[in-house]
Amino acid sequence: MSEHPDNIPAWWATGLLFENCSCQAICPGHVHFDQVCYGERCIGYWAIRFDAGELDGVDLAGVSVVIAYDCPPHMIDGDWIEAIVIDERASKPQRDAVERIVTGRAGGPWATLARFVGEQLPTRYLPIEIDETDGTKRVKINGILESTVEQLKGRDRSRPVTFENIYNQIHPPQQVIGTGTSTYDDGRIRFATERTHGLYSSFEWRVG
């Protein structure tokens, strides 16, 4: 597992965060890592689009990143396998800053998740396409990932179905619940889902 960083810089970031995993309905591990997920493994991804932010003077706006993971159904047991792909269009300083954030080396919410990672695969730099329309989020990495997350329709069709006041390390307290359909294969982590756990939110991370 990764160690907590000794020197934590002040930084902030805002943007779009969405996810899909192999769990049916709501992923128990999303609610709390001590809940047991469905199936032999929980496998999925987080997609992030930084709309604004700064770490050590580096502007994070416009950078996209995907974090794929493969973990035991009791997520708190650790021993996660994790793979990071950063959009190749990011500059070298942006790549370094975003990698520090999502590996937890810059502190903040990802430092908590990093404690559960047993194997961190080498970071890759490839084109990432993230698109969104009302209620639908899409991400594509040619040859590796193609995914769509769509919000659930509630009784009041003018409003999404949401979590309210939920505690989660990387999402804000309010999140839009949906379903996701994905295919992912990077040679080590592989999964295919159809209308399984999905959700999205507008994140705001601040450290220091």
* pLDDT per position as a tens digit, 59-105: 999 999 999 999 999 999 999 999 999 999 999 999 999 999 999 99
Annotate 61-83 with b (16+ C-beta within 10 A) or e (fewer): eebbbbbbbbbbbebeeeebbbb
pLDDT tens sequence across 95-141: 999 999 999 999 999 999 999 999 999 999 999 999 999 899 999 99
Tell me how far apart the alpha carbons of residues 205 and 27 are, in angstroms, rounded to a whole number.
Answer: 22
Q: Tell me the average pLDDT across 18-33.
A: 94
pLDDT given for residue 4 in this prediction: 43
Distances (CA, A) of 36 to 11, 46, 119: 33, 19, 21
Higher pLDDT, 7 or 110: 110
| pLDDT beyond 80 at 197 | yes
pLDDT given at position 186? 98
Q: How far apart are CA 193 and CA 29, in angstroms?
A: 17
Neighbours of 50 (CB within 10 A): 25
pLDDT, residue 25, reads 86
Q: Rounded distance, CA 35 to CA 150, Å? A: 24
Please tell me the predicted confidence (pLDDT) of residue 134: 87
Instruction: State yes or no: pLDDT of 2 exceeds 80.
Output: no
156: confidence class by pLDDT, cuts 50, 70, 90? very high
| Residue 87: predicted pLDDT | 98
Q: What percent of the chain has pLDDT over 90?
A: 88
pLDDT of residue 116: 97
Phi first, then psi: give them for residue 204, nearest 5 degrees.
-145, 110
Give the residue from 205, 199, 207 showing the smallest Cα distance to 50.
Answer: 205
Look at residue 3 in the predicted model and tell me its pLDDT: 39
Average pLDDT over residues 39-61: 97
Mean pLDDT estimate for the chain: 94
Tell me the mean pLDDT in the region 162-178: 94
